[in-house]
Amino acid sequence: MMENPYLVTYANMQAPAMGPADVLGQNLQLLTQILSSQQQMLDRQQDWCQHSLASFKMPKMTKEDDPEAYTEAFERHALVTGLDKRYWASQLGALVVGKAQAAYRALLREDALDYEPVKEAILYRLEINPEHYRRRVRAKKGHEIRQPRVLLQLLLNLLDKWVSPAGQDQEALADQIVLEQFQKDLEERMQRWV
């Protein structure tokens, strides 16, 4: 009868005898792997703690807060505290309320991870856009804002926000201002027609 080459006998399977030094070496190698794994887990846990709401102390937005001022304060606070920009979107999303929160929740998951699309969606939902700033530049200012320096700074800030996002150059801005003023100065009947 022929011997089957695929059958392995028990004698062939026995491990070679190991001395105490070999056992100690294997144990040391296993302990090193365990310590390395635990260090990785600790590093991940510390990274999470460093970027969690527990370490990023900012009050939750209220319905009385100006959303634009809140996002600006959020950005400054995130920079000062050293919050990694990867976490800005989720942190802001957890802090906003009302329409701002609805805008955040309506985003696709991929967009909700990136701060700029989150901020854009919130401001868009709240209708804070170049047209909003144009109206604020043109609107009559309150009595408390009529101090010359305060008024000038406000107008410069509003103009910058009106022009910058639109990506307009100076000539396009001048054309827009002249057109608006032209329409405003027309007789009422002509204004409706235009």
Question: What is the reported pLDDT for 192?
Answer: 75
Place of tokens 């070999």: 22
Helix boundaries (H) for 18-169: 20-50, 67-81, 88-95, 98-106, 109-112, 115-125, 130-138, 148-163
d(CA 38, CA 32): 10
pTM for this one? 0.55
Is residue 101 a contact partner of residue 75, using CB atoms and an 8 Å limit? no
Question: What is the reported pLDDT for 1?
Answer: 52
CB atoms within 10 A of CB 53: 13
Question: What is the reported pLDDT for 89?
Answer: 94
Q: How far is CA 34 from CA 22, 46, 78, 153, in A?
A: 19, 18, 36, 60
- Identity of residue 36: S
Question: What is the reported pLDDT for 95?
Answer: 93
- Closest by CA position to 119, among listed 104, 135, 134: 104
Tens-digit pLDDT string for the chain (194 aa): 555 555 555 545 555 667 788 888 888 888 899 988 888 888 777 776 665 544 678 899 999 998 889 999 999 999 988 888 999 999 999 999 999 999 999 999 999 999 999 999 999 999 888 888 888 888 887 777 777 788 888 888 888 887 765 556 667 777 777 777 777 777 777 777 76
